[in-house]
Chains A and B, each alone.
Chain A
Amino acid sequence: GDSVTQMEGPVTLSEEAFLTINCTYTATGYPSLFWYVQYPGEGLQLLLKATKADDKGSNKGFEATYRKETTSFHLEKGSVQVSDSAVYFCALSLTQGGSEKLVFGKGTKLTVNP
C-alpha cells in the first residue's frame, strides 16, 4: 500500500548547521507530497508542499524537491536555528474509496542547540 518512510531521529544539530531529513514514499499514481512541522505542545502546521514531479516546495528557509525517479522528498535547510527545534512529518496524499486523505511518516525530532 501507499506509505511514507522518513529517517529515524532524533537529530541533534548545532545552530547554523546544514539540515537534511530524508523522506521516501511508495505510492500508486502521482501523489502530492508535504512536510508538516509540530512545535512542542502544538498541533501540526503545513511547512511546504509539492504537487508534481520536479516541483520544489519552500518556506521559512526550508526546501524539498519532488523526485519521482528516486521517490523522494528530502527536507533541507542551509542554516538551522534553535527555533527550528520541532518534529517534522513527511506526508503524501492518498485517494482511497473515492476520498482523499493524507498518509504521514512517523516523524523526525530535530533539536538545535545554541
Chain B
Amino acid sequence: NAGVTQTPKFQVLKTGQSMTLQCAQDMNHEYMSWYRQDPGMGLRLIHYSVGAGITDQGEVPNGYNVSRSTTEDFPLRLLSAAPSQTSVYFCASSPREGLYEQYFGPGTRLTVT
C-alpha cells in the first residue's frame, strides 16, 4: 500500500512553460484535493474532487486545471507557469466516510523562474 504518491519531487520551470504534477492513491479514496503551501500562508486549497468525473475549485484555482478520470489519479496542470506559482504542492485523499482525515503525499517543490 503506497498511500498517496506524487511526482516529480522537484521541478524548475521557466515562465510560460506548462507542466503536469502527478498524484495517485491506491486506497480507493473518493475525495482528492490539491493544496499549495507558502511560507506564512499555511495550506491553501487549489482544486478538489469528490469522485471520478467531478471536480471543483478551491480557494486559489487561477492558473491551474484538474481532471479526475479515474478514482486513483488526480493530476494538476499548470497552463502557463508564473513566478507566483513557486510553491510546494501537496496532494491529499480521504475516504468519503472520513472526509476530514486527509492523507497527504510527500509534496512537489516547484520553482518558476
Chain A residues close to B by CB (< 8 Å): 32, 34, 41-46, 49, 89, 91, 93, 97, 99-102, 104-107
**How many residues of chain B get a CB closer than 8 Å to chain A's CBs?**
22
Q: Are B104 and A102 in contact (CB under 8 A)?
A: no
Q: Scan B31-49; emit 1 where CB is below 8 A from any A CB, else 0.
A: 0010000001111110010
Q: CA–CA, A41 to B92, complex, Å? A: 16
Q: Least Cβ distance of B8 to chain A in Å?
A: 15
Q: Are A106 and B104 in contact (CB under 8 A)?
A: no
Q: CA–CA, A101 to B102, complex, Å? A: 10
Contact of B43 among A46, A93, A99, A104 (CB under 8 A): A104
Contact (A100, B42) CB under 8 Å given A42-B106, A43-B90, A43-B106: no
Q: Label chain B's interface by main secondary structure.
A: strand
Q: Are B105 and A43 in contact (CB under 8 A)?
A: yes
When distances are taken between beta carbons in the complex, the residues of chain A under 8 Å from B43 are: 44, 89, 104
Q: CA–CA, A89 to B99, complex, Å? A: 17
When distances are taken between beta carbons in the complex, the residues of chain B under 8 Å from A105 are: 42
27 A–B contacts from the bound complex (CB under 8 Å): A34-B100, A41-B106, A42-B107, A43-B90, A43-B92, A43-B104, A43-B105, A44-B43, A44-B104, A45-B104, A46-B102, A49-B101, A89-B42, A89-B43, A91-B100, A93-B100, A99-B56, A100-B100, A101-B33, A101-B48, A101-B58, A102-B45, A102-B100, A104-B42, A106-B40, A106-B42, A107-B42
